[in-house]
Structure 1
Amino acid sequence: MQYSRGRRRATGPASAPRVAEVFTAERPRDPQREARRRRGPFRQITDFAAASGIGQKAGIVLAATGLVLTVTVPVTGPVMAGQEPGQAASVVSAAPQPEISAAAGARIEFSRSPVVTQADPDSRLKQLLSAQSAGAITRAASAGTLGAPLAAMTTVSTFGYRVSPITGGSGDFHRGVDLVAQCGTSVLAAAAGTVTFASWDQYGGGNRVVVDHGNGLKTTYNHLSSFNVTKGQRVSRGDVVAFSGTTGASTGCHLHFEVDVNGEVVDPTGWL
């Protein structure tokens, strides 16, 4: 009997191929994952929209249309040390805003402080007059609120007591300032207002224009050669109201300019 020197081939059934064992790190369990999976993508989008402040209705529309929503929250707080300008802060916190309710049909008004600049003298004058009577306004507050009644200002006679240029007597009270002006020079409104008088003045002012600026403040322009406005007319600062002359109690062409506060004349230089 001969024996085969070769190794005996197994006659049993073939064994299954070995599978290499792969070990992976276990992912940390997300306690909200199963809850989100049960809600589905539609509910996830609407919840996200509501939490983002967009609104649940908008979230439903987004979910229904299949749109992907991205929300960027701007950083309005101060830039921290070491943070580049424009770089988003790592933590953003916003204080909750109070809810404001009103009855149906309620009237809601918004008030704000007026913005006044040196380039807007009419607004400054209006604010000054609306806050108090003209008589209570100090010289420091009124200075510069009225515009020049002539394009070029040169004073030849100041406000107050003086020697009368007509009679030569002392003790004459000058009610305004006399300004150099050739006859026919344009006379300008010192501020916005309403013309209350444009006629002949029987007390020596000759042709006279009076402009009322409100709250007890008026300006007057005297010895005019002619008028450019009528009574009741509304004028703006710088409008030509008349032309200078030498009518009335006058010794030559000039403009007599007055400022009247609550019926009493005051030094015009305190307002110019």
Structure 2
Amino acid sequence: MPKCKLCNEEKPLIKKSHIIPNFMYKDLYDENHRIRKFDAIEKSKGIDKVSKPPTGEYEGGILCKECDNEKIGQFESYLSKILTNPNIPEDQKPKCEKITNDTGVEFTRVTNIDYKSVKLALLSILWRASISNRPMFNEVDLGPLGEKIRKMIDSETPSNDKDISIVVMSWHNDDKTAKDIIAQPRRHKKDGKTHYSFIIGGYIVIFYISDNSIRKEVEPFRLQSDDSLSIIHLPKGKGMEFLVDYSGAGKK
């Protein structure tokens, strides 16, 4: 019997594990219930290529039911609740404050979130992408770090907020850039240090996986263990330009 890649136990494996949680695709479907998938490399060449697969990326034979539905599922459920459910109890609602700092950076400071659940939910996306054989995720290769993240998820114990720092950016303030797109996760390397970016529905989630790889100017905005996160807003009118440049597509 094959082993589940999360718990490492020999168990029946389910036939359909979503790599990116299904609720994150909610606003990405068009009127025909097909996803808008953005190709930054084609965009950099002046080609507005948006493919429309009928569903999100999933894979069979990688996780058992308990790990997929219960262990990872509890963190996904929390993330879904705070992102998409306006009817959650008041004491559980994230508190948001829009701020412009002294250097002109606009961001939303989000407090009253559960650091553990948010970090493990996001790390589980990165980890599942790394174990997937789907072409969509072929740039995500965590190497030995994959085992470290697996143990975090399996033990339900995230590391501190400076270890695999996570930063979220948004272009929701930019009316000229579509929000209903998803793009292939990209691997970025500079000075021997690596980070990954995932573009989903108007947000860029960035994982700084190498020690001290996070840029100093964005470090204060990372997901922090005091149950806070500051979402950076891209300048208005610069969303698509930033996406193409940040993705590295414009440099190919």
TM-score (norm 1): 0.23
Larger radius of gyration: 1
Structure ranking higher on relative contact order (CA contacts 8 Å, 6+ apart): 2
- Give the helix-richer structure, 1 or 2: 2
Normalised by the length of structure 2, the TM-score is 0.25
